[in-house]
Structure 1
Amino acid sequence: MSPCPPGCCCPRPGFLVLCESLGLRSLPRSVPLSTSALSVARNQLCNIDHLLRPFSGLHELSVSHNQLARFPRGLPSSLETLQLQENRITYITSGVLRQLGNLTRLDLEDNRIRAIQPGALQGLGKLQVLTLKGNKLTSLPLNLPPSLTHLDLSANCISVLDLPSLSALVNLQVLKINSNCLRSVPESAFDSLPRLRSVDLANNLWVCECDILYLYRWLLSGRLKMATDLVCTEPVHLAHRLLLNLSVMAICPRVLKPNERIHQLGFSSRPERKLETPTVKPTAPGVQSSCVKKRDLGGLTDRSSQQKSAETFTTTGLLSEVRNSRQDVPLTHILPEHYSLETLSYEECLSLNATPPSVSLPHVRTTPSPPAEEPRCLDNVTGRYPQSNSTSIDGTGSLLSTNKAGPLPTPNPGPVAPQDSAVVISLLVVLCVLVALLTLAVLFVLKKVLTRQQRVAPLQQSSS
């Protein structure tokens, strides 16, 4: 049996090695070369270039929550999962990923990435999940691999969607670009994505004018089930209103001639369209004028709350499935033969380090979870974000709650209830009756007065 590095946890030495939260400034020297899953998360590593090249069988690597200033070089080509979230990486060059053609998941969440060179990710022909949430990107990365199924670009400063890069993602199923600086969506932006089943566009700087009509039509078409709580920030007279509560004439008055029928463009002729979607909370006034203002309005959300609202389309690991079905079975008896960074935490490993598993489960490779969702933008956070309790609906029709704490909604009075209408009508009838009676009484008094004057006048004349 291969040795386990000091302070690390090795439930099966030589296969899974967890060296987390040890204050390491360099990789442990005694990690077995046969290791297939290695985690050195939550340490103080600044550079691991070329140190892992000899690990030719390494499939999973986590270097998250360290101090890497650039993407590590010289990683083994066998890697399938690479977790680099919460480091200090500022850019991705075109050469650092050249040898990582087997990657299926790449997590770069919460770094400081401002630029990704064109084509830097193009060679990752097997990449399915890419997380770039919480960075400083201002545009969609160019030449993304067509194999992507989950793309998380939330909490950046993206203001424009690049059509060529987006249209190449023919296998894309989940797109998260919420909490950015989008003002509109270009024409036919989503038409070339046949497998798309979930899009998150909340908390952007939507300008509800003529340029947004494509997005307006696309949302109304019903081709994709998704949350529709998109709030206008401009123009001023439409600010803080839900996009789909507006009419075409309100959004773009010049699109129709006075006598032209609205239904010719495929829109309802009603001035206000009532949505059959769950109640949503629009963005608070004065929030989304720029990415910087977004950030100024709120504090940071802790990471635990981010993880609670994330992973809408997560594939659950084998260990979590066993826990749900066998709550009373000790953990030492349900560990699978194939250990993974997704199925075993460092704390669990420490409790099992001295006890080998007595029951083996079938050899199952777990699929990495897609990236977390909670928006975090170092330059454009809206109240970190002024999140709305929006609900989205996936391709199967099930509701997906984004569980975001948000600002107070703009009052949206609904129709008067039938009972209230009856009461109002009754009061009006009673009031009318009272007015009529009062009028009759006044007329009666006036008649009496006039009659008396007529009687008095002749008597006065006769006496004179």
Structure 2
Amino acid sequence: MKGCVLLAFLALCSAKPFSRPSYKTLKDMMLKDMEDTDDSDTDNSLFPTKEPINPFFPFDLFPMCPFGCQCYSRVVHCSDLGLPSIPNNIPLDTRMIDLQNNKIKEIKENDFKGLTSLYAVILNNNKLTKIHPKAFLTTKKLRRLYLSHNQLSEIPLNLPKSLAELRIHDNKVKKIHKETFKGMNALHVLEMSANPLDNNGIEPGAFEGLTVFHIRIAEAKLTTVPKDLPSTLLELHLDYNKISTVELEDFKRYKDLQRLGLGNNRITEIENGSFANIPRVREIHLENNKLKKVPSGLQELKYLQIIFLHSNSISKVGVNDFCPTAPKLKKSLYSAISLSNNPIKYWEVQPATFRCVLSRMSVQLGNFRK
């Protein structure tokens, strides 16, 4: 008995000071969870404030951790190891597991079995082609799932209803079925860029009942603005598609929209009154399109602060294209109006045209080359 006590004392004396790794960057990326804070019996945060303390040993002399991985504070790091599959022996109390930059081709039914506290799974940059429909059956607290840069042909079925963020950028998804997001009422961020998805690939009712705030479907094959996305959207990014026109009905559902990305499309016309349906918008990207004039209705947007129109075919700017005739109608001054790389004779633009900007540095003109 004395020998055991002596060994424990020597281990404590020789141990180096413990320094907790910094999670500032990861925490900054996380959205604030919409979880029940009244549940005092369970701690569902990714970075718990209460740690179980062993009265005899303040650390685990023999922690369980998959071979080659690093485990601490309920976070398992297994990235960049060339793993062909999900490793075994993942601690059951794991909150986050990082498996990016490996060679995983398939997620099997029991790969995450028993990981009931799992909060985030990072599987970016693998070779995933298949995910078993029951793979996430027991991960009822999963909030973040990152599947970008893989080879998935469809969004996995039966994803946890608790998901708040799903990123499936750069895969081979061509279809969003009506049942894909059914019941996922907590989903707030959806990233689906760089998939061969066109307008016909989004089935009617696919987003019914969802409260998504951020959607990005850039670098896809969309020819029009999707009209059946969640009405709760605050940010919609459709850059690098094949959209040629913006119609009056395109934004009718998205009255709370604050950021709109339509850059690098083929837009030649924006129907009058289109922007009247998004009165709260603060930022609009229309750069690298084929517009021949400044879109109408900008002067009526009280909160608009940033408008990018560079690299179009705009040849003339009117004195009331950006600012209302009555100064009090504009609540937010422009911090950026970009008109560079357009065939505008900037010496013909009247100074009063930009009377509602913060400063002259907020306006970019010139730099047009034939």
TM-score in terms of structure 2 length: 0.61
Q: 1:227 to 1:5 in 2, by over 3 A?
A: same
Measure how far apart 1:85 and its partner are.
0.7
Asked if 1:409 is matched to 2:368, the reply is yes
How far apart, CA to CA, are the structure 2 residues paired with 1:89 and 1:139? 18
Q: Deviations over 1:193-214 (max 9, x none)?
A: 2221111111111144xxx7xx
Q: Root-mean-square deviation (CA), in Å?
A: 3.7
Correspondence for 2:172 among 62, 65, 88: 88
Correspondence for 1:185 among 261, 267, 270: 270
Q: 1:17 to 1:277 in 2, by over 3 A?
A: closer
In the alignment, what sits opposite 1:130? 215
Q: Deviations over 1:103-136 (max 9, x none)?
A: 0101112111113122212321x21111111111
Q: Deviations over 1:306-355 (max 9, x none)?
A: xxxxxxxxxxxxxxxxxxxxxxxxxxxxxxxxxxxxxxxxxxxxxxxxxx
- Contact 1:5–1:30 (CA under 8 A) maintained in structure 2: no
Asked if 1:104 is matched to 2:163, the reply is no
Question: What pairs up with 1:163-174 in 2 under 5 angstroms?
Answer: 163-174=248-259
Unaligned runs of 5+ residues in structure 2 are: 1-59, 75-90, 326-333, 344-355
Q: Deviations over 1:127-179 (max 9, x none)?
A: 11111111111111122211111110111111233433411112111111111
Amino acid corresponding to residue 203 of structure 2 in structure 1 = Q
Partner SS, residue 260 of structure 2: strand
In the alignment, what sits opposite 2:117? 34
In the alignment, what sits opposite 1:45? 128
In the alignment, what sits opposite 1:420? none
- Contact 2:107–2:132 (CA under 8 A) maintained in structure 1: no
How far apart, CA to CA, are the structure 2 residues paired with 1:182 and 1:15? 45
Amino acid corresponding to residue 22 of structure 1 in structure 2 = N
In the alignment, what sits opposite 2:206? 120
Measure how far apart 1:6 and its partner are.
4.4
Which of the two has greater helix per residue? Answer: 1
How far apart, CA to CA, are the structure 2 residues paired with 1:62 and 1:161? 32
- Contact 1:49–1:74 (CA under 8 A) maintained in structure 2: no
In the alignment, what sits opposite 2:309? 229
Amino acid corresponding to residue 112 of structure 1 in structure 2 = P
Identify which of structures 1 and 2 has the higher relative contact order when contacts are C-alpha pairs closer than 8 Å and 6+ apart.
1
- Matched positions, count: 260
Correspondence for 1:219 among 295, 298, 301: 298
Unaligned runs of 5+ residues in structure 1 are: 234-240, 249-265, 267-274, 285-394, 402-406, 412-464
Q: 1:221 to 1:129 in 2, by over 3 A?
A: closer
How far apart, CA to CA, are the structure 1 residues paired with 2:318 and 2:260? 24
Question: What pairs up with 1:7-26 in 2 under 5 angstroms?
Answer: 7-11=68-72, 12=74, 13=91, 14-26=94-106
How far apart, CA to CA, are the structure 1 residues paired with 2:163 and 2:338? 44
How far apart, CA to CA, are the structure 1 residues paired with 2:188 and 2:359? 27
Q: Deviations over 1:181-238 (max 9, x none)?
A: 1111112111122221111111111144xxx7xx24x2355742333535554xxxxx
Q: 1:33 to 1:186 in 2, by over 3 A?
A: same
In the alignment, what sits opposite 2:80? none
